[in-house]
């Protein structure tokens, strides 16, 4: 049953591969045959799996968790074929790292330069980010209705980020369609707005896909700075902000329940964190004498704050000149992330709100031991079970960073670089290590470290438990 569903997904992936193939044909690239071979291999494998006839179509929680983990790995293995075959001169390690970085919307790259890279490959990088932004499984739930009856809710919970998962409709497939409708509409609007700038249509599509997915892959070595356009920066800032908002909240706002946005505790905290980080960056720039015009004190720090907290990872200014305080703010925002149910990475503001309210209650109970307290979110009490899950998640999140950083150090990376890379990978931010001493991308990282980072990216995107459960004995025991 699991292989049959993965076959559906591989067929869909092959269909998406046709878009860069067509782009390559229009651009007259020499790698179109290799891309066609990638499409053929993926479609053939998908068709073979779809032809399977399972004896049982039942899917419980354990099967849903296994399917989610397998899906992201298998689609990355087939998604790396264009990188291997189409003239990028990547090894298997580099190709898998680049693909996993794309699907998890991390945006870390092993390409030393994008100059000379075929347009078909540049588009494929952005497409896989866009697919992974809202979720591969969530897309399948929207287009394969049979999963609504076969573990659909378990699949939904295994992939969608957050503490609790609000359904828009009773059936999971309707919820998936609603969320994807919002996602596609925002992406289309962003592409249209970027077309009114100095960007050509190809660049507008690529940046539209990578920005809305908060992935951050670019088509130029200078990233968004290639255009030096105030209009482009403002548009990208707005949509990075929207990419960090819970898509369920956006859906309800569009459908007439906009008043709920202003009563949402997490959304208000999201706005407050952005404002505080922006003001701190402004003060930092002013104190270091780096303010030369109005844009330096308004747009640039806001762009950087939105890019990091939404885990997009686009860097327009030379951030390394902003000093140690800016790096500390960056690390805090990478850890925090934006709202649950969005395309952003990080631990999520929802969990931190629960954590701080829980700590506030604990301090209160030190003075009033008989008091009965509860963690209130949006005016409603949160069950103690949810609070326990949040505390366990945050503790495990830190453990993964510590273990990942330690393993990277053992493989030869400098200590600071190791832990920075581990945090960047698990938060799906994908910032290079130029701040901490390397060349700005992951090309110099040892192969063993790339596999570890790819694994950490996957853990971060699927929020720890979905992947780590597969390595427990109790998961496989009936």
pLDDT digit string (tens) for 161-194?
A: 555 545 444 456 677 778 888 889 999 999 999 9
Residue in this structure with the two tokens 């063993």, named with its chain if needed: 448
- Position 149 scores a pLDDT of 47
pLDDT digit string (tens) for 231-280?
A: 999 999 999 999 999 888 888 888 776 666 777 888 899 999 999 999 99
Query: How many whole angstroms separate alpha carbon 153 and alpha carbon 86?
Result: 38
- Position 159 scores a pLDDT of 52
What percent of the chain clears pLDDT 70, i.e. is strictly above it? 88
Question: Taking 70 as the threshold, does the pLDDT of residue 125 lie above it?
Answer: yes
- Position 168 scores a pLDDT of 47
pLDDT digit string (tens) for 73-115?
A: 999 999 999 999 887 788 999 999 999 999 999 988 888 888 8
- Position 121 scores a pLDDT of 92
In this structure, of 10-24, 119-133, 277-291, the range with the lowest mean pLDDT score is 277-291
Question: Taking 80 as the threshold, does the pLDDT of residue 132 lie above it?
Answer: yes
How big is the chain by its Cα radius of gyration, in Å?
A: 22
Q: Name the pTM for this structure.
A: 0.90
- Position 258 scores a pLDDT of 61
pLDDT-derived band at 158 (thresholds 50, 70, 90) equals low
- Average pLDDT of the residues in 348-361: 89
Residue 263 neighbours by CB distance under 10 Å: 10
pLDDT digit string (tens) for 391-445?
A: 999 999 999 999 999 999 999 888 888 999 999 999 998 886 654 444 457 888 8
- What distance lies between CA 197 and its chain's CA centroid? 26
- Average pLDDT of the residues in 198-211: 92
Mean residue pLDDT of the chain comes to 84
pLDDT digit string (tens) for 205-231?
A: 999 999 999 988 888 888 887 888 889
- Average pLDDT of the residues in 120-126: 92
């Amino acid at each position: 049953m699991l292989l049959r569903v993965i076959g559906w997904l591989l067929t869909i992936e092959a269909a998406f591969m046709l878009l860069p193939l067509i782009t390559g044909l229009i651009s007259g690239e020499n790698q179109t045959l290799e891309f066609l071979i990638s499409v053929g291999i993926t479609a053939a494998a998908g068709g073979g799996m779809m032809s399977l006839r399972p004896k049982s179509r039942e899917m419980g929680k354990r099967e849903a968790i296994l399917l989610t983990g397998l899906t992201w790995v298998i689609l990355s293995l087939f998604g790396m074929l264009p990188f291997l075959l189409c003239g990028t001169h990547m090894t298997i390690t580099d190709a898998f790292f680049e693909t996993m970085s794309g699907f998890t919307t991390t945006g870390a790259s092993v390409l030393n330069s994008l100059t000379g890279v075929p347009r078909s490959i540049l588009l494929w990088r952005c497409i896989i980010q866009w697919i992974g932004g809202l979720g591969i499984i969530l897309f399948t739930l929207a287009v394969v209705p049979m999963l609504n009856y076969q573990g659909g809710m378990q699949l939904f919970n295994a992939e969608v980020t957050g503490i609790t998962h609000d359904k828009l409709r009773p059936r999971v497939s309707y919820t998936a369609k609603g969320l994807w409708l919002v996602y596609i509409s925002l992406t289309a609007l962003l592409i249209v707005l970027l077309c009114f700038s100095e960007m050509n249509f190809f660049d507008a599509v690529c940046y539209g896909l990578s920005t809305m997915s908060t992935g951050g892959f670019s088509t130029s070595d200078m990233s968004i700075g290639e255009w030096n356009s105030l209009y482009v920066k403002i548009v990208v800032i707005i949509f990075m902000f929207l990419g960090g908002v819970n898509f369920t909240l956006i859906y309800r706002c569009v459908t007439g329940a906009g008043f709920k946005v202003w009563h949402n505790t997490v959304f208000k905290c999201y706005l407050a964190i952005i404002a505080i980080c922006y003001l701190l960056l402004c003060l930092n720039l002013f104190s270091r004498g780096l303010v030369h015009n109005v844009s330096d004190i308004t747009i640039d720090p806001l762009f950087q704050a939105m890019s990091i907290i939404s885990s997009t990872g686009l860097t327009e200014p030379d951030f390394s000149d902003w000093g140690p305080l800016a790096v500390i703010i960056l690390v805090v925002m990478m850890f925090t992330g934006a709202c649950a149910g969005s395309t952003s990475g990080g631990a999520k503001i929802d969990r931190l709100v629960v954590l701080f309210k829980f700590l506030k209650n604990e301090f209160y109970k030190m003075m009033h031991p008989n008091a009965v307290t509860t963690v209130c979110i949006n005016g409603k009490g949160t069950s103690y079970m949810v609070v326990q899950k949040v505390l366990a998640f945050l503790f495990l999140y830190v453990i993964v960073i510590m273990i990942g950083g330690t393993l990277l150090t053992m493989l030869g990376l400098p200590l600071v670089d190791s832990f920075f890379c581990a945090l960047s990978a698990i938060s799906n931010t994908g910032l290079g290590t130029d701040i901490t001493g390397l060349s700005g991308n992951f090309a110099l990282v040892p192969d063993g470290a790339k596999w570890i980072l790819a694994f950490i990216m996957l853990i971060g995107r699927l929020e720890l438990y979905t992947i780590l459960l597969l390595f427990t004995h109790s998961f496989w025991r009936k």
